[in-house]
Structure 1
Amino acid sequence: MIAILYQNNVTGDAFDVTSLCAGAKWSTKRSGSPASLELTMIADDAVVWTHGGIVALKDDDTGIFYGYVVKIGQDETDQVTITAYDQTWYLKKNKDTYVFAGKRADEILTQIAADFGLKCGELENTGYAIPSMIEDGQTLFDIVLKALDYTLINTGKMFVLWDDFGSLRITDVEKSKLDLFVGDSSLATGYTYETDIDSETYNKIKLVRDNKETGKRDVYIFQDSNNITFWGTLQDYESVDEDMNEAQIKERGGQMLELYNRPTKSFEVKALLDLSVRAGRALYIGIEKVGVSAFFIVEEASADLLKEEMSLKLKVV
C-alpha cells in the first residue's frame, strides 16, 4: 500500500498525509534533473508545510522517494500544492571548481559528496580512470554526469546516478535490468515508436590532440563511408587530452564511432503503474506490430499514483 509521509523540519512534527492527498505525481529522469514528487493536498491546520521539510513515498516497507520540499503553493480551493526533490537537487543547485586527475566517476562523486555533506550509498566501481578533468564553476551534477559520459565513451558501459531513498547511488545499467516485460498483452496501454538520426547519431568522428613538440594539432578521423553516402556527413568533434597516445586515441575514436554510428530508437509508452520502474533502469519492451523485442533504458518516467498509470520515455540500450 502506498503511503506519503511528511516531517516538518522546523518543529520536528511528523505526519502520515496519505489521506490528505488529492493528487500525486512521481517523476524521474535518467540524467540532468532530480527526481520529483508533486502533491496536491487538502489543507489541514495541523500540517504546516515548510521549505526543506522531508517528504517520503513508500510502498509498504519499500522506500520509493525521499526528498525535500522546495515549492509550496495554495489557491482559492484551499488545496496546497507541494513539490519535493530528492538529494540530487543539491548536486544541481551547487556550483564549484574541481580539478581531477586519474579519478573514476565513482571517486569523483565520493569526493564531491563529502565536500557538500551529501550521503552516498553503494557506488559501483566504474572501472575507468579519467586522465584529466578541469571543471570551472560547473554544477556538481554536470561534473559527475560528464565523468559518467567519459566512462561510457571509453568503456561502452553505461552507469546511472540516482538517489536511492536518501542515498546517492551509481549503478551499472546492464546489471540492474528489471525482470519486467512491457508490451503486447502486458502492462502497456499505448505507445509511440520513433527512430531518428538527429539527436545522438554521428557517422564521422574527428579527434584532435595538441602536439607540444610540433606546435600543431594532430588530427584523427574515424568514419563510416557507407552511412555518409546514405545520411550525409554527421561529424562529432572532440579535443582529447594531450597525454593520450596514438593507440588510446584510436581506441577512443573507434568506440565513439561504434556508439554513435546508428539511428537512435526511442519509445513513449503508457502503461499500468509499476513502482519498480524509474529512469535509469532497463526493461524489456515487446511490441510485435513495430517489430520491437529488446531491452530499453528508461530516459524519463512519470507516475500518477492515484490513477495508477505511468508514462515512459525509453531509449534502446
Structure 2
Amino acid sequence: MITKFTIGRRHSGDTWNVINLVSDIKWVTDLNFAAGTLTFDLLFDSSFYPQDGDVVEFQWDEQKIFYGYVFKVSFKEDKKFSITAYDKTRYLKNEDSLVWPISTISDRFDTVCKMAEISHKVVNGSDYKLPAEVADNKTYFDMLKSSIDKTQKATNQMYYVLANYDVVELRKAPYNELNIIVGDQSLLTGFSFEKSIDEAANSVRIIKKNQAESQQTSSTSSVSEESSGEDPAKTSFNYTDSIAGNVQDWGKLQKVENAKDKANDAQMKQRADELLKEKNKETYTLSLTCLGDTSLIAGNSVNIQIDDLSKAGFWINNTAIMKATHTFDVDYKCDLEMKVNEPWLENNSSE
C-alpha cells in the first residue's frame, strides 16, 4: 500500500499529502539511458494545483520508490490531472560540449553529474582509462553511453546509471543478484519469448573508395557520395569481406561499413571480423508479467523457472532486468523486459 505520496513546491517549502487523491501509479526504470519515470492521476482539489518542477516523493510499504520532479501536467473533463514526473537522471539529458582528458568512466560520471547539479554517487567504479576525446553538442547521457560502451568493450564489464531515490548512482551490472524466482510456481502470471535475426548480419563488407583523380580514399557515407557529383569513371571500390558459415541457414544478410582513412588491408580485415562477430547472432526478447516486488528494478537479476519455455527448447536461468514497469494498484504487478541475448559479463571481467 502507499505509505507516502507528497507533492511540494521546490523552493517555498509548501508540501501537500496527496495519498487519498492519487491513482493509476506506474513507475518505470530502464537501463537504456532513459530517466526513471513516475506517471499517475491526481483527483482535482481546488486547494492545490500541481506545477511543473514540483517535487514528488512516493513510498510503497515504507520502501522509498521514487523521488523526482513534475515535467508534464494535463487536465481533462474527468476532473483529474495526469502527471508525468522524472527522477534526477532526467537532467543528464542536458546538452553540452566538453573536451575529455584521459579519464575513467567514474571520473566522467562525477563530472557530468556536477555539471547537471544533481546528487550522485559512484557505487561501482572502474580503473580503465578512456582515451581523450571531444564531445561536441551532446547530452550527458550520450557522453556516458559512449564511455560506458568503450569501457565494456575493453574490460568485459557493463556499467549503468540509475537513480536510487534522490541520488543518481553509477553501478556495475548486475547490481543485485536477487534470490527471487520468477516462474510457474513463483510470481509469474504471463510471459512471451521471441528470437529474431531481423537485425543480424552474417556477411560483412568493409569498403575503401578510390578516386583516380586525387588518389585519395574517403570514408564518406554512401548517401553523401550520391549527392557529391563524383565522376563514376574515376571512382572505384576495394572490398574486404568476412562471411560466416550460417549463410546457408539464414541466407546472406550483409552489412557494409566504410573503412577508416588510411586503413590498410590487414586493418580492414580485422574490422570486418570484429563486426561479423558482433552482428552474427540471433537476438532474444523475454517479457514477463508477475506479481509486484519493489526489488524488481532495472539492473538487478532474477532466476527464471518456466517449464513451457524449457520444453520449447529455451533454457534461461539467471538473467537480468533491462526495463521494469511497476503498476501500483490493489493488484500490484510488474512487467519486465529481460536481457537474454548474452549473459552478464561479471564472471569474465578482466578488472
The normalised TM-score by structure 2 is: 0.76
| SS of the residue 2:49 aligns to | coil
Work out whether 1:266 is the aligned partner of 2:285. Answer: yes
Aligned-residue offset at 1:45: 2.8
2:328 aligns with one of 296, 305, 310: 305
Whole-angstrom distance in 2 between the partners of 1:204 and 1:20? 57
Letter matched to residue 131 of structure 1? P
Q: Cα 1:111–1:10, aligned 2, differ >3 Å: closer, same or farther? A: closer
Aligned-residue offset at 1:70: 0.7
Letter matched to residue 317 of structure 2? A
Letter matched to residue 76 of structure 1? E
Whole-angstrom distance in 2 between the partners of 1:166 and 1:241? 46
Work out whether 1:279 is the aligned partner of 2:279. Answer: no
Question: Can you list the C-alpha shifts for 1:126-156, whole angstroms capped at 9, x where unaligned?
Answer: 3432224322111111111121112222222
| 1:121-140 alignment, distance < 5 Å | 121-140=121-140
Q: Cα 1:237–1:277, aligned 2, differ >3 Å: closer, same or farther? A: farther
Question: Can you list the C-alpha shifts for 1:89-124, whole angstroms capped at 9, x where unaligned?
Answer: 1111x1111222322222111111122212112342
| 1:89-238 alignment, distance < 5 Å | 89-92=90-93, 94-199=94-199, 201-203=200-202, 223=242, 225-231=244-250, 232-235=252-255, 237=257
RMSD, aligned α-carbons: 3.2
Q: Cα 1:72–1:126, aligned 2, differ >3 Å: closer, same or farther? A: same
| Deviates most, 104-113 or 7-16 | 7-16
Q: Cα 1:196–1:182, aligned 2, differ >3 Å: closer, same or farther? A: same
Letter matched to residue 147 of structure 2? A
Q: Cα 1:293–1:240, aligned 2, differ >3 Å: closer, same or farther? A: same
Letter matched to residue 166 of structure 1? D
Look at both structures and tell me which one has the larger radius of gyration over its CA atoms. Answer: 2
The answer for the alignment partner of 2:225 in structure 1 is none
Whole-angstrom distance in 1 between the partners of 2:115 and 2:261? 27
Q: Is the 8 A contact 2:182 2:302 kept in 1?
A: yes
Q: Is the 8 A contact 1:131 1:241 kept in 2?
A: no
Question: Can you list the C-alpha shifts for 1:39-98, whole angstroms capped at 9, x where unaligned?
Answer: 111122333312111111213443211100011122222212111001111111x11112
Question: Can you list the C-alpha shifts for 1:171-197, whole angstroms capped at 9, x where unaligned?
Answer: 111342222211222111111101112
Q: Is the 8 A contact 2:174 2:299 kept in 1?
A: no
Identity over aligned pairs, percent: 25
Question: Can you list the C-alpha shifts for 1:233-252, whole angstroms capped at 9, x where unaligned?
Answer: 4447587899xxx99x96x9
Q: Is the 8 A contact 1:266 1:314 kept in 2?
A: yes
Q: Is the 8 A contact 1:67 1:86 kept in 2?
A: yes
Whole-angstrom distance in 2 between the partners of 1:286 and 1:240? 46
Q: Cα 1:241–1:113, aligned 2, differ >3 Å: closer, same or farther? A: farther
Whole-angstrom distance in 2 between the partners of 1:22 and 1:128? 46
Q: How many residues align?
A: 307
The answer for the alignment partner of 2:79 in structure 1 is 78
| SS of the residue 2:53 aligns to | coil
**Is there any run of 5+ residues in structure 2 with no aligned partner, and where?**
209-215, 220-237, 344-351
The answer for the alignment partner of 2:5 in structure 1 is 4
Letter matched to residue 190 of structure 2? G
Q: Is the 8 A contact 1:4 1:57 kept in 2?
A: yes
**Is there any run of 5+ residues in structure 1 with no aligned partner, and where?**
210-214
Q: Cα 1:217–1:22, aligned 2, differ >3 Å: closer, same or farther? A: closer
Letter matched to residue 198 of structure 1? D
Question: Can you list the C-alpha shifts for 1:267-300, whole angstroms capped at 9, x where unaligned?
Answer: 1111111111122322222212122332232222
Whole-angstrom distance in 2 between the partners of 1:235 and 1:310? 37
Q: Cα 1:220–1:60, aligned 2, differ >3 Å: closer, same or farther? A: farther
Whole-angstrom distance in 2 between the partners of 1:208 and 1:132? 28
Work out whether 1:296 is the aligned partner of 2:285. Answer: no
The structure richer in strand per residue is: 1
Aligned-residue offset at 1:208: 9.7
Moved over 6 A (4+): 205-209, 215-222, 238-242, 252-256
| 1:8-27 alignment, distance < 5 Å | 8-27=9-28
Q: Is the 8 A contact 1:205 1:256 kept in 2?
A: yes
Aligned-residue offset at 1:263: 1.3
Whole-angstrom distance in 1 between the partners of 2:300 and 2:218? 40
